[in-house]
């Protein structure tokens, strides 16, 4: 890989760091892979390397955003923590459903979510995804159809995944979930620096690390996360009620609140402050999975689908957002299968496998993508910017926009 001698030392160091990061993903065995599994891993890592190498040319620090034709005036970016592609594309997992170690209420879960085919089960689990998005938008990452989406950060847990989603870069420096301010400029911060978007970007998360992931102190982007109340001088009656209720309903976790609070705080802000770029990070699915509570994991996935439907239906009823908004939905990491389903990380097979969905203005209505193709988590940030008519750049390579989502006509 060539590094331009005319670039600044910071740009050069960042590009080399990115290159080193991707190289580290490539197993030594790739030189002479000895099995189909190692060949597949080598192919994914090499594709990620090529993607980053190509994107280095258009991602240089300090460049002004090059305005293009906006596909939409508004974007809602949504993540559902650790929701497996298996449930998104096949509904409730029969192996997990029939193990009382993980599913405590098998009869009621069967009555609500079971059907003989995965196609029918997914409609029961996520009806908005498989009615509205499947008809009017698109879904990427059904590996059963060889349509693949992968994280590239090599860690396959939350902070590295969220950084990759938001900064378009799997940064080797981010190797824990510690509350450390993100050194990378996210697409949220990048867009907020554009005068027409200044003060029109907001973020909400159930996990209390999001103020650090977004780097709230540097970016100036308001982040409501963890157990934070809504603040400000113009709180609605409902926000005041949410503040009171949040203090009265104990969460089973010390760092994550229930998603209902995150959702309704975000929806109230959408109605009141009219952000043009809104990020919402739902978190329950991951925590219920770590608790090995498959009932709650499935119920949470089902409820999150309903939350997203409520957001979509509200935007389509509002003059500012109707037919002028794109939703992009994804996850930070995958999970293992069968007894490994509750875990993720570099040592769990399948934790690198993720998915992406999109719907809204200008997004081609392709439904479930069945083409044999490979996409990456690091392409989401540039896709968000491209939809808004801007070219996301940083002091490191970023993945290019997803061609299937970005309407370039």
Please give the average per-residue pLDDT across 163-169, as a whole number.
97
pLDDT, mean of residues 226-252: 97
Q: How far is residue 85 from each of residues 36, 133, 355, 356, 357, measured CA to CA in Å?
A: 22, 16, 6, 9, 11
Query: Band of the pLDDT at 154, cuts 50, 70, 90?
Result: very high
DSSP letters, 209-235, are THHHHTTHHHH---EEETTPPP-SSS-
Q: Give the H or E element holding residue 134.
A: helix 134-136
Question: 181-190, pLDDT tens digit by residue?
Answer: 999 999 999 9
316-352 pLDDT, tens digit each: 999 999 999 999 999 999 999 999 999 999 999 999 9
Instruction: Say yes or no to pLDDT of 14 above 90.
Output: no
Confidence band for 286, pLDDT divided at 50, 70 and 90: very high
- pLDDT per position as a tens digit, 24-72: 444 433 433 434 344 344 555 555 554 554 444 334 433 445 566 789 9
Count the helix, strand and coil residues of the chain and give each as a percent rounded to the nearest 5.
45, 10, 45
Q: What is the pLDDT of residue 25?
A: 41
Which pLDDT score, from 0 to 100, does residue 177 have? 97
pLDDT attached to residue 407: 74
What is the Cα–Cα distance from 238 to 242, expressed in whole angstroms? 6
Q: What is the DSSP letter of 129?
A: I
Q: Sort 349 into a burial class: Cβ within 10 Å, 0-12 / 13-18 / 19+.
A: exposed
Strands 373-376 and 223-225, bridge-based pairing: unpaired
Contacts of 34 (CB under 8 A, 6+ apart): none
pLDDT computed for residue 32 by the predictor: 38
The residue behind tokens 């203005």 is: 361
Residue 375 has pLDDT above 50, yes or no: yes
pLDDT confidence tier of residue 395, bands split at 50, 70 and 90: confident
pTM across the whole model: 0.86
What is the distance between the alpha carbons of residues 322 and 276, in angstroms, rounded to a whole number?
12
Residue 16's pLDDT is: 44
Looking at every residue in the chain, the average pLDDT score rounds to: 88
């Amino acid at each position: 890989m060539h590094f331009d001698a005319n670039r600044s030392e910071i740009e050069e160091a960042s590009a080399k760091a990115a290159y080193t990061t991707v190289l580290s993903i490539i197993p030594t065995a790739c030189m002479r892979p000895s099995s189909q599994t190692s060949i597949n891993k080598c192919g994914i890592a090499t594709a990620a390397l090529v993607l980053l190498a190509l994107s280095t040319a258009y991602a240089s620090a300090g460049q002004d955003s090059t305005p293009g034709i906006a596909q939409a005036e508004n974007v809602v970016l949504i993540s559902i923590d650790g929701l497996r592609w298996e449930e998104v594309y096949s509904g409730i997992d029969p192996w997990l459903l029939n193990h009382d170690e993980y599913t405590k209420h098998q009869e009621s879960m069967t009555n609500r979510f079971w059907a003989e085919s995965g196609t029918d089960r997914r409609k029961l689990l996520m009806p908005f995804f498989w009615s509205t998005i499947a008809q009017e938008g698109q879904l990427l990452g059904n590996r059963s159809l060889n349509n693949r989406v992968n994280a590239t950060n090599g860690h396959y847990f939350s902070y590295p995944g969220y950084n990759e989603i938001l900064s378009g870069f799997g940064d080797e420096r981010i190797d824990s979930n510690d509350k450390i301010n993100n050194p990378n400029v996210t697409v949220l911060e990048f867009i907020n620096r554009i005068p027409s978007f200044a003060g029109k970007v907001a973020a909400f998360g159930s996990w209390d690390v999001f103020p650090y992931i977004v780097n709230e102190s540097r970016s100036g982007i308001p982040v409501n996360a963890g157990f934070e109340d809504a603040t400000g001088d113009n709180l609605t009656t409902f926000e005041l009620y949410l503040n009171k209720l949040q203090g009265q309903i104990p969460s089973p976790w010390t760092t994550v609140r229930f998603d209902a609070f995150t959702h309704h705080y975000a929806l109230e802000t959408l109605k009141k402050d009219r952000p043009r770029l809104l990020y919402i990070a739902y978190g329950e699915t991951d925590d219920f999975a770590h608790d090995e509570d498959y009932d709650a994991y499935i119920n949470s996935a089902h409820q999150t689908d309903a939350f997203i439907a409520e957001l979509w239906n509200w935007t389509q009823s509002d003059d500012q957002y109707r037919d002028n908004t794109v939703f992009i939905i994804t996850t930070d990491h995958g999970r293992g299968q069968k007894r490994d389903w509750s875990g993720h990380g570099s040592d769990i097979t399948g934790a690198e496998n993720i998915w992406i969905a999109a719907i809204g203005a200008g997004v081609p209505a392709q439904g479930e993508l069945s083409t044999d193709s490979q996409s990456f988590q690091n392409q989401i940030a540039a896709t968000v910017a491209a939809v808004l008519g801007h070219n996301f750049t940083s002091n490191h390579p970023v993945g290019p926009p997803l061609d299937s989502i970005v309407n370039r006509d």
